[in-house]
């Protein structure tokens, strides 16, 4: 799917550029993540919000038909949220949220906390292994 292209340069601008339910969902995800792990560094990278802590941790990306909530190492967190769909490198898994997709704030908080903890324990998921 195509992401929503914006002229945003910061995470705040990214949220402000969105409209409708995608804006509401993306803003709610961002708020819940920031409350759960305030030490997470947010950047606008690859055209969407990426949270960093010892490397990339999570992403929030608006698309025309969904909002994607993804995690590097997300495949390790399917016990928290079984709807996480594995795919891509770095043990990535994503949750596709549509206008009627329920998601509890407690689940968002738990996913974000666990994702940061995995990076604390294992380091940057994108780092090349040292021999």
Angle between helices 105-122 and 20-36 (to 10 degrees): 50
CATH architecture of 11-122: Alpha-Beta Complex (3.90)
pLDDT tens for 32-69 read: 999 999 999 999 998 899 999 999 999 999 999 999 99
How many Cβ atoms from other residues are within 10 Å of residue 121's Cβ? 8
Contact status, residue 95 vs residue 81, Cβ threshold 8 Å:
yes
Q: If 0-12 CB within 10 Å is exposed, 13-18 middle and 19+ buried, where does residue 59 land?
A: buried
pLDDT tens for 102-117 read: 999 999 999 999 999 9
Flag whether pLDDT at 100 surpasses 90. Answer: yes
Domain definitions of the chain by residue range: 11-122
pLDDT tens for 11-32 read: 999 999 999 999 999 999 999 9
Contact status, residue 4 vs residue 65, Cβ threshold 8 Å:
no
This prediction has a pTM of 0.91
Look at residue 115 in the predicted model and tell me its pLDDT: 97
Q: Positive or negative, the Cα torsion across 48, 39, 54, 90?
A: negative
């Amino acid at each position: 799917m195509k992401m929503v292209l914006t002229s945003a340069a910061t995470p705040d601008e990214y949220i402000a550029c969105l409209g409708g339910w995608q804006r509401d969902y993306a803003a709610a995800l961002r708020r819940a993540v920031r409350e759960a792990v305030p030490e997470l560094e947010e950047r606008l990278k690859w055209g969407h919000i990426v949270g960093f802590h010892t490397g990339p941790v999570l992403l929030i990306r608006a698309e025309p038909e969904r909002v994607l909530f993804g995690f590097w190492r997300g495949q390790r967190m399917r016990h928290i949220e079984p709807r996480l769909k594995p795919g891509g490198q770095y043990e990535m898994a994503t949750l596709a949220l549509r206008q009627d997709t329920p998601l509890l704030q407690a689940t968002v908080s738990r996913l974000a906390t666990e994702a940061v903890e995995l990076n604390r324990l294992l380091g940057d998921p994108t780092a090349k292994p040292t021999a």
